[in-house]
């Protein structure tokens, strides 16, 4: 799928500003940002719920979606919902095709119960399955683990990963639970103030974020000029943050060889949370994190 220079405004309020990115079938892409960043609007455009916008979205003719709460009928059973939505899309529902997924989501044994007997988490899971009734190439999921406890969330995430791999479905997922995004996504897009402010690929190698404070700017410049440990996240007059898979001992040996002097050194395991917080440096981090959560 190709999202090309997508922009959207309501009256004088600009919501999206020239959004462009690609994602492919079998890939899970996370979309994170603070409230009001434009995530839901972008997802609705991709799902063709919003059809008036500038720019274009290519190859989005077969998209399933769960955006906001699933629209369900309390007096109908789970099975009736699946049959009904399959028929809307011109398909005949075959339980055998979805049996493994339904069992993985702990829904198979409650399909004949009315939705009014379902918990919020069960309704959310049913909404996820309904999003697949048009046999999509891509699925857009806005807060799919909302109202779920940790164990149920992991259950759902495992099934989404399995679905992407085995059914070759591309998934675009938004969540305020950063640990959910980190668990299953191949990469993450950071959406802030209507623009894509960055992208984070996830590596299977263990990565750390190092903060090095040098004795003077000259030592810092020497380190930057010679280091090949990883990408620089941020640097200032005497301080640098880098993302690396190198061991701390390798870093210290290199510093000795350069004959530069550190006055402070910290290392923390790379997580989506600290990557996101580092992107917000220079702003009120606590306020932004509260917005996100």
Q: 11 with 95, same domain?
A: yes
Closest among 180, 218, 215, 254 to 31, alpha carbons compared: 180
- Three-state secondary-structure class, residue 250: helix
Q: 239 with 149, same domain?
A: no
Q: 113 with 178, same domain?
A: yes
pLDDT for residue 287 is more than 50? no
Closest among 257, 248, 15, 16 to 3, alpha carbons compared: 16
Query: Which of 59-63, 195-199, 274-278, 280-284 is predicted least confidently?
Result: 280-284
Rounded distance between C-alpha atoms, residue 80 and residue 73, angstroms: 10
Counting every residue written for the chain, the total comes to 293
7 inside domain: yes
Q: 226 with 150, same domain?
A: no
DSSP alpha helix (H) spans, 35-140: 39-46, 78-88, 95-104, 120-130
For 245-257, the pLDDT digits (tens) are 888 888 888 998 9
Rounded distance between C-alpha atoms, residue 113 and residue 78, angstroms: 7
**Residue-level pLDDT at 286:** 37
Query: Given the structure tokens 């000029």, which residue do they identify?
Result: 225
Query: The domain spanning residue 53 has which CATH number?
Result: 3.40.50.300
Range of the domain at 250: 208-269
For 94-142, the pLDDT digits (tens) are 999 999 999 999 999 999 999 999 999 999 999 999 999 999 999 999 9
Q: 236 with 212, same domain?
A: yes
Among candidate residues 163, 179, 201, the one where a domain is terminated: 201
Q: 54 with 115, same domain?
A: yes
- H-helix or E-strand spanning residue 7: strand 2-10
Neighbour tally for 267: CB within 10 Å: 14
Q: 7 with 48, same domain?
A: yes
Q: 187 with 253, same domain?
A: no
Among candidate residues 201, 216, 238, the one where a domain is terminated: 201
Q: 244 with 120, same domain?
A: no
133 inside domain: yes
Q: Is 94 within 8 Å of 33 (Cβ atoms)? A: no
Q: Is 224 within 8 Å of 254 (Cβ atoms)? A: no
How many structural domains comprise the chain? 2
- Three-state secondary-structure class, residue 207: coil
User: Exposed, middle or buried: residue 149 (CB in 10 Å: 0-12, 13-18, 19+)?
Assistant: exposed
For 256-277, the pLDDT digits (tens) are 899 999 999 888 776 776 667 6
């Amino acid at each position: 799928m190709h999202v090309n220079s997508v922009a959207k405004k309501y009256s004088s309020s600009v919501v999206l500003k020239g959004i462009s990115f690609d994602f492919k079938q079998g890939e899970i892409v996370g979309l994170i940002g603070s409230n009001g960043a434009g995530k839901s609007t972008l997802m609705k455009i991709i799902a063709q719920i919003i059809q008036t916008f500038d720019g274009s979205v290519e190859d989005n003719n077969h998209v399933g979606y769960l955006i906001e709460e699933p629209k369900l009928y309390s007096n109908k059973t789970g099975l009736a919902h699946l049959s009904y939505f399959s028929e809307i899309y011109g398909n005949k529902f075959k339980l055998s095709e979805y049996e493994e997924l339904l069992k993985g989501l702990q829904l198979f044994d409650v399909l004949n119960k009315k939705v009014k007997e379902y918990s919020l988490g069960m309704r959310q899971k049913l909404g996820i399955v309904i999003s697949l009734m048009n046999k999509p190439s891509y699925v857009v999921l806005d807060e799919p683990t909302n109202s779920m406890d940790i164990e149920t969330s992991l259950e759902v995430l495992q099934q989404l990963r399995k679905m992407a791999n085995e059914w070759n479905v591309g998934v675009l997922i938004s969540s305020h639970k950063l640990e959910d995004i980190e668990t299953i996504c191949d990469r993450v897009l950071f959406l802030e103030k209507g623009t894509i402010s960055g992208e984070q690929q996830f590596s299977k190698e263990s990565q750390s974020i190092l903060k090095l404070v040098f004795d003077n700017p000259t030592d810092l410049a020497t380190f930057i000029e010679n280091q090949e440990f990883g990408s620089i996240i941020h640097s200032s007059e005497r301080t640098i943050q880098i993302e690396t898979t190198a061991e701390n001992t390798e870093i210290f040996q290199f510093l000795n060889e350069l004959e530069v002097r550190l006055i402070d050194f910290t290392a923390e395991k790379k997580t989506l949370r600290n990557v996101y917080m580092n992107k917000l440096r220079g702003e009120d981090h606590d306020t932004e994190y509260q917005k996100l959560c």
